[in-house]
Amino acid sequence: MGSVKDLEIIRKPTRNAMGIGRFHFSDRYSVFDWGEMPDHIDGKGEALCLMGAYCFEKLKENGVRTHYRGLVDETKKVVNFKEVETPTNVMEVDLVNVYRPETHKNQGILAYDYGYFTSSLRNYLIPLEIIYRNGLPEGSSVFRRLSRGVTTPKELGLDHYPKPGERLSQPIFDVSTKLEETDRYVNWDEAKRIAGLENNELTEIKIVLSEANHVISEIASSLGLENEDGKIELAFDQERRLMVVDVLGTLDECRFTYSGLPVSKEIGRRFYRKTQWYKDVETAKKTAELRGVKDWRKICKSQPPKLDKQLRTIISEVYMAAANGLTTNAMFDSPPLAEVISKYEKYASGKDVS
């Protein structure tokens, strides 16, 4: 299925009917599109599963369609969040087809052909990641895109050049590709074209994104978190009705902050940005784009190092404490989130946290 969860297929989807599957959330993690990293984060899989289920059920309460069917408890029964008595890492979902764009080289550069995606296609994953931004914290990809000149404040819907840490008066809606080797930001016109969307469907996507942002922000605020940005994935069912798929509202899909400090996989990203491996990743991605190489990982000069042991423990506690707090159901034996974040702040400043 991916670098952080596995898919068990109960019933395969057909062209005109959804299937049934189960996500098995693992303790694996990934940063910078690398795939599985050399460590595991204790408790992460169960924490992600419970946070995602809680958000799916809140979305349903707000009238948003999703592919979520329930959690699989220790007796293998499919239940809702309130019925789970112990942490689980298994979620049951409806399945749609995943059609990948064809690839070819155009003047030596790798290009993608989305011709298969039309307005008559049904029961498929929309090949886009749909992103909301309520703030622009340090590390946001927006600053990198602005510095490289691949976008402008105006194209992002801003009337000024933003600063790291800035909160936005109105959310920015952003979009990138989903099924390419490296996620590529596109404008909404291109997104509409490559995904085979009609005007009214594009409008509905933005409405669903807005509602998801609202629900997640409300959940986060109850724990004192700022919902800086996040992503959702969408699909059409067999009647071409829009629904939220994959998972949302977790520390892997959202960038939360607590008093300006990251409460998300950004903690891991900050560690790796200081390594030689990260520099090699950036070089490999640029080289692959210029040479038309499909898999940039094969030309990366180094492998990712393991996390510092203290940091790995802190990240584990962050996931479990966030799941306890965001779902208001303390299933994990973890210190409160504020205490864990204080520990991370000491670690980041070079102080002993043992």
Do residues 50 and 327 lie in contact, with contact meaning Cβ atoms separated by under 8 Å? yes
The pair of three-digit structure tokens given for residue 75, joined into one six-digit string: 């007796």
Q: What torsion do the CA atoms of 166, 327, 91, 86 make, to the nearest 10 degrees?
A: 140
Q: Is 239 helix (H, G, I), strand (E, B) or coil?
A: coil
| 98: in domain | yes
Instruction: Tell me the DSSP string of 95-154.
Output: E-B-PPPEEEEETTEEEEE-TT--TT--SEE-SEEEEEEEEE-TT-HHHHHHHHTSS-TT
The CATH number of the domain holding residue 36 is 3.30.470.20
| Amino acid in position 17 | A
pTM for this prediction: 0.92
DSSP state of 257: E
Residue 265 belongs to domain spanning: 5-348
For 221-236, the pLDDT digits (tens) are 999 999 999 999 999 9
C-alpha closest to that of 208 among 179, 182, 245: 245
| 269: in domain | yes
| 79: in domain | yes
Rounded to whole angstroms, how far apart are CA atoms 94 and 105?
35
| 353: in domain | no
| 354: in domain | no
pLDDT computed for residue 99 by the predictor: 96
pLDDT computed for residue 354 by the predictor: 67
For 271-307, the pLDDT digits (tens) are 999 999 999 999 999 999 888 888 999 999 999 999 9
Proportion of the chain above pLDDT 90, given as a percent: 86
C-alpha closest to that of 3 among 20, 25, 22: 25
pLDDT computed for residue 292 by the predictor: 85
Do residues 239 and 122 lie in contact, with contact meaning Cβ atoms separated by under 8 Å? yes
Element (H, E) at 236: strand 226-236
**Distances from the Cα of 111 to the Cαs of 25, 177, 182, 291, in angstroms?**
32, 13, 12, 12
Rounded to whole angstroms, how far apart are CA atoms 27 and 44?
5
| 135: in domain | yes
| 55: in domain | yes
Do residues 310 and 354 lie in contact, with contact meaning Cβ atoms separated by under 8 Å? yes
| 77: in domain | yes
What total number of domains does the chain contain?
1
Rounded to whole angstroms, how far apart are CA atoms 158 and 302?
38
Element (H, E) at 284: helix 276-291
Instruction: Tell me the DSSP string of 308-327.
Output: PHHHHHHHHHHHHHHHHHHT
pLDDT computed for residue 107 by the predictor: 77
Residue ranges for the chain with pLDDT beneath 70: 1, 354
